[in-house]
Amino acid sequence: MTRTTRLRHRLAVTLAGPLSLLLACAATTTARAATGEPSGRVGAVGGYAALGDSFASGVGAGRAGGDCRRSSLAHPALWAAGHHPGRFDFAACTGATSADVTAQQLSGLDRSTTLVSITVGGNDVGFADVMRTCTLSSESACLESVARSEKAVDHDLPGKLDAAYRAVKAKAAHARVVVLGYPHLFSRDACLMGPVTGREQSVLNTAADHLNRVTRDRARAHGYVFADVTAAFAGHEICSADPWIHAPSLLTADVAYHPTEEGQREGYLPALTTAAGPGHA
């Protein structure tokens, strides 16, 4: 048995259970607040709602709890702590799809909500399964899994995002909506990263660009602001000198491929702050 095969086997035992937790989802709501302005306008913060999946809930940043694994170090919580909105509804949940956002995360939105942030789409196209396959299986299996996911990005994701974005508009017609994308997981130059080959790393980064591009186009079609975080994470991917993404290992199995505390604070938070606009700064 080769060293790579042994590592894949050990990761399979360790990652299989914890990674599956990333597919679990629930949602909660919080307190009350003030009035807002017409959609798209920037003004004083009334209510702020943070929606989406594990990248929004803060898996990997630490201090995460509950079934949804929301962290006080996630970018929505950090933004709320620094800007003191009249109400903060932190509904993002690990494993959430766009349908989960619509069904389980909108109860705290109303006409007083002036800002909404959302990161969602990865679970709609099976990206958690893709990462599991690329970590634990062969290169050919990884590439096939990525290809299936990219097909879903083109054929299934646009309609799913449209439905979620329309639902947000229906509940919070006066809110500025910021849609945040996903970072590249790996450095531009392929690195020796255990079970994930250089070719797989490149293909996964390209798939992230594809996902971001479709998400951006659908967000803009609804009049929402898209915040791309790939530039912010440049130089801080897995294998970089200062990574803001957790590499898979026996010690990080339950947070693998998610932003660290630094990634949330230095990557996602500035993107949200800028996209929220001067009236929310």
- Catalytic member of 75, 184, 236, 258: 258
Residues 62 and 71: their CA atoms lie apart, in Å, by 6
DSSP letters, 136-156, are HS-HHHHHHHHHHHHHHHHHT
Strand spans (E) along the chain: 47-52, 64-65, 70-71, 87-90, 113-119, 176-180, 225-227
Residues 40 and 138: their CA atoms lie apart, in Å, by 46
Buried-exposed string 237-249: b where 16+ CB fall within 10 A, e elsewhere: bbbbeebbbbbbe
Q: Is 54 a catalytic residue?
A: yes
Q: Is 39 a catalytic residue?
A: no
Residues 13 and 11: their CA atoms lie apart, in Å, by 5
**On the CB side of 270, how many CA atoms lie within 13 Å of its CA?**
10
Q: What H or E segment, with its residue span, contains residue 134?
A: helix 127-136
Structure tokens at 236: 């801080």
- Catalytic member of 54, 98, 149, 187: 54
Q: Please state whether beta strands 64-65 and 70-71 pair in parallel, antiparallel, or not at all (unpaired).
A: antiparallel
What are φ and ψ of residue 109, in 5° steps? -90, 145
Q: Which residues are catalytic?
A: 54, 258
